[in-house]
Amino acid sequence: MPKWALFPRMRFTRQVLLLQIGVVVLVVGLGVALVSSLLRSELTEQYGQRALAIAKSVAADPVVVAGAVARQQGGPLEDRSLAVGKATGALFVVITDDKQIRLAHPTPSEIGKQVSTSAEEALAGADVVSAVQKGTLVLSVRSKTPIRQGNRVVGEVSVGFDVSDVTGHVNRLIALTSVFAGGALLLGAGASALLNRRLRRVTHGLEPHELTELLYEREAVLHGIGEGVLAVDGQQRVTVRNDEAERLLGTSIPVGAPLAELDLSPRVHKAVAEGLPVDNLLAVAGNRVLVVNSRAVRRDDRPLGTVLTFRDRTDLDTLTRELDGIRSLSDGLRAQRHEFANRLHTLSGLLQLGHRTEAEEYLQTLTETTGSPAEPLGDQVSDPYLQALLVAKTEQAQEKGMELRLADDSWVPTSVTDPVAAGTVIGNLVDNALHAARMGARRPASVEVGLLADGTTLHVSVADSGSGVPEPLRDKLFDEGVSTKLAPGHGLGLALARHAARARGGDVWLADPGDSTSGALFVARLPDLLSGQEP
- Could you tell me where the beta strands, DSSP code E, fall in 374-486? 403-406, 446-454, 457-464
Q: What is the pLDDT of residue 201?
A: 75
Q: What is the pLDDT of residue 535?
A: 55
**492 against 295, higher pLDDT:** 295
- The answer to whether residues 343 and 369 touch, using CB atoms and an 8 Å cutoff, is no
Q: What CA–CA distance (Å, rounded) separates 408 from 405?
A: 9
Report the SS3 class of residue 402: coil
Q: What is the pLDDT of residue 91?
A: 77
472: DSSP letter: G
Q: What CA–CA distance (Å, rounded) separates 480 from 308?
A: 18
Q: What is the pLDDT of residue 522?
A: 93
Strands across the sheet containing 238-241: 238-241, 228-233, 302-312, 288-299, 278-285
pLDDT in tens, 26-59: 877 887 778 777 777 777 777 778 888 888 888 8
Q: What CA–CA distance (Å, rounded) separates 338 from 294?
A: 49
Report the SS3 class of residue 97: strand
Q: Does the N-terminal peptide bond of residue 444 adopt cis geometry, omega within 30 degrees of 0?
A: yes
Q: Please say if the pLDDT value at position 465 is more than 80.
A: yes
Annotate 42-69 with three-state secondary structure. HHHHHHHHHHHHHHHHHHCCHHHHHHHH
Residues ≥6 apart with Cβ < 8 Å to 76: 63, 67
Q: What CA–CA distance (Å, rounded) separates 290 from 13?
A: 45
Provide the mean pLDDT of the chain. 77
Annotate 178-198 with three-state secondary structure. HHHHHHHHHHHHHHHHHHHHH
Cα→Cα distances 278→230, 296, 299, 466, Å: 14, 9, 19, 34
* Longest CA span, the chain: 181
Mean pLDDT is highest, among 375-384, 402-411, 492-501, 526-535, for: 402-411
Q: Please say if the pLDDT value at position 378 is more than 70.
A: no
H or E element in which residue 280 lies = strand 278-285
Question: ∠83-88-91 over CA atoms, to 5°?
Answer: 85
Residue 247 pLDDT class (50, 70, 90 cuts) = confident
Query: Facing residues of 157 across strands?
Result: 95, 145
Share of the chain above pLDDT 70, in %: 78
What is the separation of C-alpha 303 from the centre of its chain, rounded to a whole number of angstroms?
19
- The answer to whether residues 464 and 440 touch, using CB atoms and an 8 Å cutoff, is yes
Q: What is the pLDDT of residue 196?
A: 76
Q: Report the pLDDT averaged over residues 63-82.
A: 82
Q: Report the pLDDT averaged over residues 271-289.
A: 72
Mean pLDDT is highest, among 72-76, 215-219, 332-336, 450-454, for: 450-454
Q: What CA–CA distance (Å, rounded) separates 100 from 96?
A: 5
Cα→Cα distances 333→89, 321, 373, Å: 129, 18, 9
Residue 486 pLDDT class (50, 70, 90 cuts) = very low
Residue 249 pLDDT class (50, 70, 90 cuts) = confident
Q: Which pairing describes strands 152-162 and 92-97: parallel, antiparallel, or unpaired?
A: antiparallel
Residue 284 pLDDT class (50, 70, 90 cuts) = confident
Q: Is 242 exposed, middle or buried (0-12, 13-18, 19+ CB in 10 A)?
A: buried
237: DSSP letter: B
Q: What CA–CA distance (Å, rounded) separates 156 from 103?
A: 10
| Reported pTM | 0.44
- The answer to whether residues 245 and 310 touch, using CB atoms and an 8 Å cutoff, is yes
Question: ∠317-323-324 over CA atoms, to 5°?
Answer: 90
Q: Which pairing describes strands 403-406 and 446-454: parallel, antiparallel, or unpaired?
A: parallel
- The answer to whether residues 424 and 484 touch, using CB atoms and an 8 Å cutoff, is no
Cα→Cα distances 117→284, 411, 431, Å: 100, 124, 118
Q: What is the pLDDT of residue 22?
A: 78
Report the SS3 class of residue 490: coil
Question: ∠228-232-235 over CA atoms, to 5°?
Answer: 160
Q: Report the pLDDT averaged over residues 472-477.
A: 77
377: DSSP letter: -
H or E element in which residue 94 lies = strand 92-97
